[in-house]
Amino acid sequence: MTWLRLAFANLGLSPLTSAVNVLLMTLGTASIVLLLLAGSQVSDTMSRDAKGIDLVLGAKGSPVQLVLSAVYHADVPPGNIPLAAAERWANDPRIARAVPLSLGDSYRGFRIVGTSAEITDVYGAELASGRPWTQTMEAVVGAAVAESASLEVGSQFAGAHGLGDGGHIHEYRPYRVVGVLAPTGSVVDRLILTSLDSVWDLHAGDHSHDDKAHDHADDEHSHGGEAHDHEDHDQSSAEKGHDHAEHDHSHGDEPHDHAGDDHSHGDEAHDHADHDASNGDDAHDHDHDRSRSEITAMLLSYRTPMAAATMPRQVNADPDLQAAAPAVEVSRVLQLIGIGLDGLEAFAWILIVTAGLSVFAALYGSLHSRRRDLATLRCLGATRSELLMSMLLEGLLLSIIGVALGFAAGHVAMEVLGGWLESARGVALTGWVWLPIETALLLGLFAVGAVAAVIPAVQAYRTDPARTLSEN
């Protein structure tokens, strides 16, 4: 027989009351644990995704929106910017790395990002299989994309216009998967990466593939009746041994069109083998007029921290551009999230306090019916301190059971919620982590029951056995 067993047995005398106390403690603890896990992981994920990105160039508008869209791919971008304007800053000696982004299409909810090869350096991503893209319409997919959309090297898919579901599908020009990235735990896992040219090919504004037959300006593709479609276009090009490099591209002043065999280029003739963004070093030549091309954003990394003091202000003076520092915007977003989390956390603490008060009420209320038990224990040889300890133990037990269940429930709920969020929102959260602060929280919450039992325990300590037993 131990005091622990006696405490358990005493709690069993009022099973419903004990169960309610445990339930309150469980709910409060689970809520706090869930909020802690979610808040911490969201914060870590946001910081990790923004690591290595000092500044984002984009269209004028909300800097938070720019960062959310360009760094976290969680919002629509505020607009496009001229590539030439962005490149002026990218070539600034204070910049160590510049990664252009061109957004607009998606596949099964995963964003297709026209970019350069350096984007893998930003997120520390490595190929798990395949190779980087070298030509237009070749794509490297993130690990989550590959798993969710069952894509592998050699797979083909057609992007849909827009960043959500329901957009026009570019069936005429499918992408071909040439590489799959290893999981990184960052946002790149959920991206489909390709060259800027690929995106430009599909979204060149007044994009006409053939002056007679094919026009998909604003992505309202209207195909002519002369049997020209993009599938045919690609196939026919291949069949003919069509290679852009073999063309005598003559670039005109007009926005480029690349209507298959009828590329006409003007005097700014260039081939995309020279483009940073094209990622191409092979026979891929293209016909984009870079001076008129637009991108969605550009991710910049400073060569020196000193750049942070001057560059954003200078960029913002440009009428076409906005500079947003992810570190600043992330902290702003986290602050906004934090306000919501604080409210929820306050509610959770109210539950904990309620649980503590409930434990107090239950133990204090039981004192009257247990006065004789306590007096009898003294007669049998129990000391005052042992009575005090036994009452504290009962409160502590209620806490330990409730808190243990609450921690388990909080972590399981986080895992379940994380699974749902990952599939629905692309936010990877897990319940199978233990935060350092949880240890302190665990011990603190254990103490709640003991603290709630202090007054009943002191009353037990003061039990006068002779007087109590004489009351018969």
Beta carbons of 196 and 115 less than 8 angstroms apart: yes
| Closest separation in Å from C-beta 354 to other proteins | 26
Q: Reduced to 3 states, what is the DSSP secondary structure of residue 191?
A: strand
Binding-site member from 13, 128, 283, 350 for other proteins (CB under 8 A): 13
Report CA-CA distances (Å) from 460 to 359, 363, 368, 382: 15, 10, 10, 12
First to last CA, the chain: 28
What is the size of the binding site for other proteins (CB under 8 A)?
26
| Closest separation in Å from C-beta 388 to other proteins | 12
Residue closer to other proteins by CB (options 2, 335) is 2
Residue closer to other proteins by CB (options 335, 472) is 472
Tell me the residue type at 165.
Answer: D
d(CA 159, CA 236): 21
d(CA 173, CA 182): 26
| Closest separation in Å from C-beta 16 to other proteins | 15
Residue closer to other proteins by CB (options 12, 225) is 12
Residue closer to other proteins by CB (options 6, 455) is 6
* 461 binds other proteins per the rule CB under 8 A: no
Residue closer to other proteins by CB (options 42, 367) is 367
Residue closer to other proteins by CB (options 13, 76) is 13
| Closest separation in Å from C-beta 350 to other proteins | 32
The pair of three-digit structure tokens given for residue 240, joined into one six-digit string: 């003919």
Residue closer to other proteins by CB (options 344, 469) is 469
* 465 binds other proteins per the rule CB under 8 A: yes
Kindly write down the DSSP assignment for every residue of 278-309, as one continuous string: T---SS------TTT-EESEEEEEESSTTHHH
Closest alpha carbon to 139 in 158, 167, 121 = 158
Footprint on residues 330-389 left by other proteins (CB under 8 A): 372-373, 375-385
Footprint on residues 98-117 left by other proteins (CB under 8 A): none
| Closest separation in Å from C-beta 452 to other proteins | 20
| Closest separation in Å from C-beta 331 to other proteins | 55
Phi, psi of 128 (to 5 degrees): -90, -30
The pair of three-digit structure tokens given for residue 325, joined into one six-digit string: 């520092």
10 Å CB burial of residue 150 (0-12, 13-18, 19+) is exposed
Beta carbons of 24 and 354 less than 8 angstroms apart: yes
Q: Reduced to 3 states, what is the DSSP secondary structure of residue 204?
A: coil
| Closest separation in Å from C-beta 389 to other proteins | 12
Residue closer to other proteins by CB (options 329, 394) is 394
Footprint on residues 276-315 left by other proteins (CB under 8 A): none
| Closest separation in Å from C-beta 379 to other proteins | 5
Phi, psi of 181 (to 5 degrees): -80, 150
Residues that bind other proteins (CB under 8 A): 1-2, 5-6, 9-10, 12-13, 372-373, 375-385, 465-466, 469-470, 472
